[in-house]
Chain A
């Protein structure tokens, strides 16, 4: 019961914060929505380093494997992707209060609408794999950016290969 209230409050806060891009929220979120869970706070080392609940903590813990890559027009999880997703799943099982969004992306060599659909396929593919490893489905959201958010700027095979990706992003 407490956990349900906690999750609902977290979701509400997340969506409230997503809607208020340009101004601070009028009210602070209720106290129980503060993110850092007790168990981890006491176990964490006292000094420096990223804090649990931040993207940098996640990326450090998975050794940069928060991104998986795809072949042209494909959305299947290959063995390299599987290894990365397993590392992600281990992190998510350890820090049970973390929720993530998986962003699906494509390269620029596709038409705009189709690429939004393909990006969604890729995000879903990665999500399904994590769920298959035991991560609860309600902790993973998906969003597709199609070809709108490349990270590599060139128009060549190497750049396109880097842009065909699904990126797991911590959202709380």
Chain B
């Protein structure tokens, strides 16, 4: 009799979940910053004139055309690709009016630091980007990025980075961020990753796989095989782990997946249903929701494992939770008043107060990384992405479709990503919109997509 129970508990400790994992993606590497001059500090939101700024992005030059692990043809061709990534970043996000590198003159290596002003003055581009890429003996790449004011014929800012060949796109994102921050006064966001759920199949039999990609959709990887339904992922702030919900053992369970090791562990051994996992901004805590005898509450557990602390106790459904960037407060959703509304509490669960007092229901709150706004799903018939300030005022709707839900913030707190469900077909896709409500655009993903989670700036 005893032997059977020992076997029973040992079996639960075994890694059943390993059956649904594909091969591990490469872990994130720190890149090296070389030099910095002329950067603007602080951030301002002035959305008026800089969006009409023309900016020419010339192909990056190289000192010597050498083979590189980054592509098949060498550093000269890589210089073109770097400039294309930057141009696509700025164009897709509705920022400025980028042109090039195709159709523009290609600067030589010397001209990168001494632009040929004559060939740039008549191109209706007020700003000019030059850069270089050099292959090092160790296989790493050194990339330099320079921003010039064409009318003033002066350099505004420069920066350089050393990256592994595999991470060449990060240098392009860093350059995009440098240009964007210097010209708009905003904080960067391009050098970041997104975790989401890739969906295929008919509406009554969806395959849902955990996937990750760069902020521009490149470097796409699947984490799970799709044999079991995966939902609602979140990157840890250091990009080393993903937390997500999986039905791989037949019940909703939350797993912490270690990207470097390619393995995962349960966030709690409890056999109650657990869902809606979230990270604290310092990466030390994981919030999750657990249903006991039909009643759902929010719990907190250390990211290292250990006992869970219960944060909410009301008989309603208390679910989700998003920390303020200083880690002191949590905004969450609860139906204790009779319908889903938003509440704020201290991070230890005390001082719970409702903050949503407008018509309709409010769900999936996410605190902006800048602390000044809370994004959420507003439900009044249709589902719309909306924002408000943390005390509950200043409600603004950013989208207007049948079912837009689960907004997630860009690292700079100025763009929101969410997923849109199409009526009847159930097809899903990822979309983005600025905090101003402008530049709503669809993201390109290999299949249908839902549950996006935007990570912070990469280390």
Contact = CB atoms under 8 A, between A and B. Distances in A.
B152 interface: no
Given A22-B227, A117-B317, A120-B291, A154 B424 contact: yes
Contact of A19 (B16, B383, B423): B16
Contacts of A123: 294
A22 B19 contact: yes
A3 to B, nearest CB: 12
Contacts of A148: 206, 208, 229, 231
Contacts of B251: 143
Interface stretch (A9-17, A42-50, A51-59, A79-87): A9-17
A155 B227 CA distance: 26
B11 A116 contact: no
A155 B11 contact: no
A63 interface: no
Contact of B294 (A19, A124, A151): A124
* SS of B interface (majority): mixed
Interface in B1-50: 1, 4-5, 7-8, 11-12, 14, 16, 19
A162 B250 CA distance: 23
A121 interface: yes
Contact of B227 (A21, A75, A151): A21
Nearest to A9: B4
Nearest to B381: A109
Contacts of B405: 111-112
B364 interface: yes
Contacts of B202: 153
B365 to A, nearest CB: 11
B60 interface: no
A95 B298 CA distance: 39
Interface string A109-131: 11111101110110111001000
A12 B1 CA distance: 12
Give the size category of B's interface with A.
35 or more
Contact of B363 (A18, A22, A111, A154): A111
* SS of A interface (majority): helix
Contacts of B8: 8, 11-12, 15
In this complex, the member of B7, B206, B317 whose beta carbon has the largest number of chain A beta carbons within 10 angstroms is: B317
A19 B249 CA distance: 6
A111 B377 contact: yes
B364 to A, nearest CB: 5
A21 B19 contact: yes
A124 B273 CA distance: 12
B294 A120 contact: yes
In this complex, the member of A12, A111, A120 whose beta carbon has the largest number of chain B beta carbons within 10 angstroms is: A111
A143 B250 contact: yes
Contacts of B222: none
Nearest to A15: B11
Nearest to A113: B276
A123 B272 CA distance: 13
B164 to A, nearest CB: 36
The 4 closest A-B pairs by CB, nearest first: A124-B294, A117-B296, A113-B276, A120-B291
25 contacts: A11-B8, A12-B4, A15-B11, A18-B249, A19-B11, A21-B19, A111-B379, A111-B383, A113-B276, A114-B317, A114-B333, A114-B363, A116-B275, A117-B317, A120-B273, A120-B296, A123-B294, A124-B293, A144-B252, A145-B247, A148-B206, A148-B208, A148-B231, A155-B402, A155-B423
Given A125-B294, A148-B208, 17 more contacts: A9-B4, A12-B4, A22-B19, A109-B403, A110-B379, A111-B377, A111-B405, A113-B319, A113-B333, A114-B317, A121-B291, A121-B317, A143-B251, A148-B206, A150-B203, A153-B202, A153-B204
